[in-house]
Structure 1
Amino acid sequence: MRTLRPNRLLTLAFGLLLPLVVTACSSATNEAGDATIEEILSRSSSAMAKVETARFAIEQTGAAVYIDQAEQIQFSGATARFAAPSSADALIGVTAFGLSTEVGAVAIDGEIWITNPLTGKWEAAPEGLSFDPTVLFAVDTGWAAVLSGGLQAPVLVTEEGDTDERHHVRSTVEANRVSTLTGGLVNESSTLDLWIDAETGLVDEASFDVETGGGLTSWRLTVTNYDSDITITKPDLS
């Protein structure tokens, strides 16, 4: 019987074990390793398309942005709620006629009502009102659509303050996507920073700057309380 030398035995053993080690490492990487940008965005798009309700906030600073064509009502931010398929209500921070205040807004199936900034009474939104909070969650144009095909050359980035609990995505977005993210108020291209929950795939936060004719305007959006108990009804117009 042929006897293998010790060094030949070690070589043979290593050769037999190597495929097992590589397979085990590959399996661990597939199960717990870094997801690709395509996988992250696809999963997030699917998750956002299934959202039934959510609360969200929009902060805007910098150059003046108006919610009306006459540019009499200046927008400063909003806190809002969404209920699928196409309902939202919001408190909108505005400055109108020299007075800083909040106006209420309700949007249901394409109809929008707001409170009059002077009287506080509910009325149908006047012609030319731009802000519609429902577009952020519309399946065909909102978050799901932006994530599935609205990001140009997206990349994963890591900056100070980022954690493993969220994916940080940066991408160029065209004007129509910025219009969606601002509820129809701004229609210019921008660079978008987006933070996605690593466990759920749901959007946590987004921020971007937009250069408009009036100057630079900065935006920050946060989304919370997904699929909580939210009911939105038509306001009392009496």
Structure 2
Amino acid sequence: MLQHWRATLLIVVAACFFAGCGAGAPTVTPTPTPTPAEISARAGQATGAAQSLAFSITVTGQPVYSDASRVFVITSIEGALRRPDGALATLKLRSAAGIGEVRTVSLAGKQYITNPLTRAWQCLAPGQAFDVAILFDPQKGIERLLQDGIETITLVGEEDLDGRLTYHLRGTIPGARLAEISGGVIGAAPVVADIWADRETLRLAKIVLVDKAPDTPEPTTWTLIFSAYDQPVEVRAPIEC
């Protein structure tokens, strides 16, 4: 009988131990799921903390012109950013004469661009042409928009993107805020934005902007892909200004 009682006591003690009985048992607090706005804000902060990144932009739908005379249509942009003040990009352009390209460099507040016909480098006055560096301006660029510039943001779900698990968010960005960082070529009206951020690092992976001006037959779709975070990027002034 005594042996049976001891065995029963051991079972009770063991069960109580594994179940967490007693005043000293730890309390497990579940980690709260971040809201879509919190995910977006953290993605903006994580992307802004990167010292460099590469980006590609594809433009489809309603044509976007790179010049006031509406000769050259932008089809794509490939570039890289090096903080705090360096960016370079190659713009692919389409015109009646065929396909061409323009290269740009931004460094220390100065902008340089190649002539689409002669390909010679020239200096630009501030505000004379669209500057890709402003897309990543810490005060009003993409990273800032993710933190406080997206309205009615929702979480579409979690999706695999090129082998990485990402958060997929969707919201609306006021047109004026995008026009300010794009030289007016984006943001004729509120823009629908789909955003993918890496679930682990929260850095931006992809953004799709659908820009539908009231007086156009179809929207312009901008697809931005971000990669090569914190990789070396060399930005040099091509000429003296």
- The structure-2 alpha-carbon separation of the partners of 1:179 and 1:20, relative to structure 1 and needing over 3 Å to count, comes to farther
CA distance change for structure 1 residues 50 and 17 in 2, over 3 Å: closer, same or farther? Answer: same
How many residue pairs match? The answer is: 221
Q: What's the CA shift for 1:121?
A: 1.1
Q: CA deviation at 1:101?
A: 1.2
Q: Is the 8 A contact 2:179 2:185 kept in 1?
A: yes
Higher mean displacement: 179-188 or 150-159: 179-188
Matches within 5 A, 1:19-30: 23-24=27-28, 26=29, 29-30=30-31
Residue in structure 1 matched with residue 230 of structure 2 by the alignment: 227
Cα deviation digits, residues 31-79 of structure 1 (max 9, x gap): xx63322432232222122221110000001111011222222111100
Asked whether 1:195 is paired with 2:157, we answer: no
The normalised TM-score by structure 2 is 0.79
Deviations 1:147-203 (A, max 9, x none): 111011211112776798211111110113333675652222211000011111111
Partner of 1:179: 179
Cross-structure match for 1:5: none
Q: Which residues of structure 2 form unaligned runs of 5+?
A: 1-11
Q: Which residue of 2 aligns with 1:218?
A: 221
Question: Cα 1:183–1:104, aligned 2, differ >3 Å: closer, same or farther?
Answer: same
Which shifted more, 56-65 or 174-183? Answer: 174-183
Unpaired stretches in structure 1, ≥5 consecutive residues: 1-8
Alignment of 1:62-211 (within 5 A): 62-125=61-124, 129-158=128-157, 165-179=165-179, 182=182, 184-188=184-188, 189-211=190-212
Distance in 1 separating the partners of 2:76 and 2:125: 19
TM-score normalised by the chain length of structure 1? 0.80
Say if 1:121 and 1:237, in contact at 8 Å, map to a contact too.
no
Are the structure 2 counterparts of residues 101 and 179 from structure 1 closer, same or farther at C-alpha, using a change threshold of 3 Å? same
Structure 1 residue matching 2:34: 3-state secondary structure:
coil
Could you tell me how far apart the structure 2 residues matched to 1:94 and 1:35 are?
Answer: 41
Contact 2:79 2:87 (8 Å CA) reproduced: yes
C-alpha RMSD of the superposition: 3.1
> Counterpart of 1:200 in 2: which secondary structure?
coil
Identify if the C-alpha distance between structure 1 residues 19 and 160 changes in structure 2 by more than 3 Å, giving closer, same or farther: farther
Find the residue that maps to 1:66 and give its secondary structure.
coil
Letter in structure 2 aligned against 1:34: T
Q: Equivalent residue for 1:6?
A: none
Change (3 A) 1:206 1:23: same
CA distance in 1, matches of 2:24, 2:64: 61
Q: Structure 1 residues 21 and 59, CA, compared in 2 at 3 Å: closer, same or farther?
A: farther
C-alpha deviation, 1:217, in angstroms? 0.9
Distance 1:161-1:231 versus aligned 2 partners, 3 A rule: closer
Distance 2:223 2:23 in 1: 49
CA gap of 1:168–1:122, structure 2 versus 1, over 3 A, is same
How far apart, in 1, do the equivalents of 2:106 and 2:86 lie? Answer: 5
Hey, what's the Cα distance between the residues in 1 that align with 2:24 and 2:91? 60
Could you tell me how far apart the structure 2 residues matched to 1:68 and 1:74 are? 8
Q: Which residue of 2 aligns with 1:4?
A: none
- Note closer, same or farther for the CA distance 1:225–1:127 as it changes in structure 2 (3 Å cut): closer
Given the superposition, is the C-alpha separation of residues 48 and 41 from structure 1 closer, same or farther in structure 2, using an over 3 Å criterion? same
| Percent pairwise identity | 25
- Structure-2 residue corresponding to 1:35: 34
Q: Cα distance, 1:19 vs. partner?
A: 10
